[in-house]
A and B are shown apart, each in its own frame.
Chain A
């Protein structure tokens, strides 16, 4: 059996859940294993109704008032009892803030392997090989879990195409009786939206984004000048924001804004997966970077491997000339 631990918010399945189901359906086909989706929550009926239409075998629901808001103690306790009873082969979890908050604890509590941040898998003579990215996505590492199953794996957001999930199923929905021994040690106080400020990039048609390749804060003027000449907005990668070259509201990526403009120009951005998931659906992506191995080129439509300090001013000049013409 392959288990998918679903992720949901406001009674809706999150996109990572479809990606995990695609991962599970593919591994399930290759290894001849049925797929089960697991939903934890305080009210799971509508989520289960949606899940059972996917081409899977079973939906397990675990309902409890204390599972209404995610907390790691309750999740680990409930999942441990489900997994010990069901003994699956593989347990798939999102490589998300929530998934990575409980998956490592669960893996240690059961003393079973966790391969985190998977982007691919393969079957080698009946063995499951899981591939993850290492060294900021510059290299891939193929791993095989040791010992007896269950094996845990978290899937990187964007690694599996959620829109290819097979539907047309009518899975059985089974309720798992939840018993929780105590409350959660971690108490949720509040959840707030970080201010978006003036740099709301989600509706910008053209974005010019800069990364660490600009070397220092002062050089970011190159990005602003190009954006102005082309009539676009400015974005940034996480390291730029961490170094305080620009405020947090400019950040594009999984912990910043998710954007999908008509044109996205990435200047000196190597393209960590966290950045790629925030911009890879842009209609046209241009990457300018001196490192030909930079992962950004994997999602780009047009690439220039050259010194950005020469290419960007040349581009700005062309757009300025075009404007005047």
Chain B
């Protein structure tokens, strides 16, 4: 099986995020980037499927040095080769432009049996890109996946999806397919020292918009379907009553209010 694992670099969760002057995104200099958390689960699932059925895992990411970093760490975890969508023209892509570019590079790479992405990213967090990618490729897809059984000979997949309210459903779909993988499907491995050393000898290919035959207005900000007007920290419209003091005073004051004001104790 050939499995492609898409990884989005996002600021480390401990980062202090500051909005840029144009108020269109965050200041991304001086931040540490890591793989978006759900994409880690997707990569782990790809590696487990490869270990079970043999084949290749290709890691794919878009961006500058931050993307190279998450790709290297994917290779160290056990992926076989990396494709880096590296071009200033890719910058500012929305989900639509990103999915269109990913579809193109996957076709150019000879397709795949399976593409795995995280269910949503830690930055935009809308969970659109994987499903859009399936549509661009014309493949079947399943979202919010919590279990995968592949049958490569029959070119079919049995997938468990998580629905609302604690309901799961099992579905069958043909390969090739795109799956968006839910948090918690597995426990992602850490790269071993041996893995990190081996990663240095693995194929690492950079690809530009021109390599893919994509026009300038089809990629990045120019290819986006919407404009970002403003990013802001929302004004708090809240009813909250803040309690302050030393921890002991706070605790005492809270208990008092819960008993006398809210009358819930």
Residues of A within 8 A of B (CB): 72-73, 96-98, 100-101, 103-105, 107-109, 112-117, 129, 132-136, 138-147, 185-194, 196, 206, 230, 238-239, 241-242, 244, 248, 254-258, 262-263, 283-284, 286-287, 293, 297-307, 310-311, 314-315, 317-319, 322
Which residues of chain B are near A304, meaning CB under 8 Å?
242-244, 250, 254
A258 touches B165 (CB 8 A): yes
Which residues of chain B are near A315, meaning CB under 8 Å?
251, 254-255
Which residues of chain A are near B162, meaning CB under 8 Å?
97, 255
A100 touches B264 (CB 8 A): no
The answer to whether the Cβ of B212 comes within 8 Å of any Cβ in the partner chain is no
A318 touches B251 (CB 8 A): yes
B interface SS class: mixed
Which listed residue, B163, B166, B187, B229, touches A143 by the CB 8 Å rule?
Answer: B229
- Nearest CB to that of B129 among chain A residues? A104
Which listed residue, A100, A145, A186, A206, touches B131 by the CB 8 Å rule?
Answer: A100
A185 touches B173 (CB 8 A): yes
A256 CA to B184 CA, complexed, in Å: 13
B142 touches A186 (CB 8 A): yes
Assuming the A-B contacts A287-B240, A298-B238, are A186 and B171 also in contact, with contact meaning beta carbons closer than 8 angstroms in the complex? yes
Which residues of chain B are near A206, meaning CB under 8 Å?
264
A20 CA to B203 CA, complexed, in Å: 48
A138 CA to B18 CA, complexed, in Å: 11
Residues of B within 8 A of A (CB): 17, 19, 26, 95-96, 99, 122-129, 131-132, 134-136, 140-144, 158, 161-174, 183-184, 187, 224-234, 236-244, 247-248, 250-252, 254-255, 257-258, 262, 264-265
Which listed residue, A114, A193, A239, A314, touches B167 by the CB 8 Å rule?
Answer: A193
A283 CA to B263 CA, complexed, in Å: 10
A108 touches B96 (CB 8 A): yes
A116 CA to B95 CA, complexed, in Å: 10
A186 CA to B173 CA, complexed, in Å: 5
A129 CA to B228 CA, complexed, in Å: 10
A256 touches B166 (CB 8 A): yes
Which listed residue, A135, A147, A317, touches B225 by the CB 8 Å rule?
Answer: A147
What is the minimal beta-carbon distance from B165 to any residue of chain A, in angstroms? 7
Interface pairs (15), CB distance under 8 Å: A107-B96, A108-B99, A114-B128, A135-B123, A142-B230, A145-B225, A186-B171, A189-B169, A189-B171, A283-B262, A301-B262, A302-B240, A303-B243, A304-B244, A315-B255
A98 CA to B95 CA, complexed, in Å: 19
B225 touches A302 (CB 8 A): no
B229 touches A142 (CB 8 A): yes
B226 touches A113 (CB 8 A): yes
Given contacts A143-B227, A186-B173, 5 further A-B contacts (CB under 8 A): A134-B231, A185-B140, A189-B170, A302-B241, A305-B244
Which residues of chain B are near A109, meaning CB under 8 Å?
135
Assuming the A-B contacts A108-B99, A189-B158, are A242 and B231 also in contact, with contact meaning beta carbons closer than 8 angstroms in the complex? no
A104 touches B240 (CB 8 A): no
B226 touches A263 (CB 8 A): no
A244 touches B135 (CB 8 A): no
- What 8 pairs across the A-B complex have the smallest Cβ distances? A242-B184, A314-B251, A310-B247, A113-B225, A116-B126, A104-B131, A108-B135, A189-B170
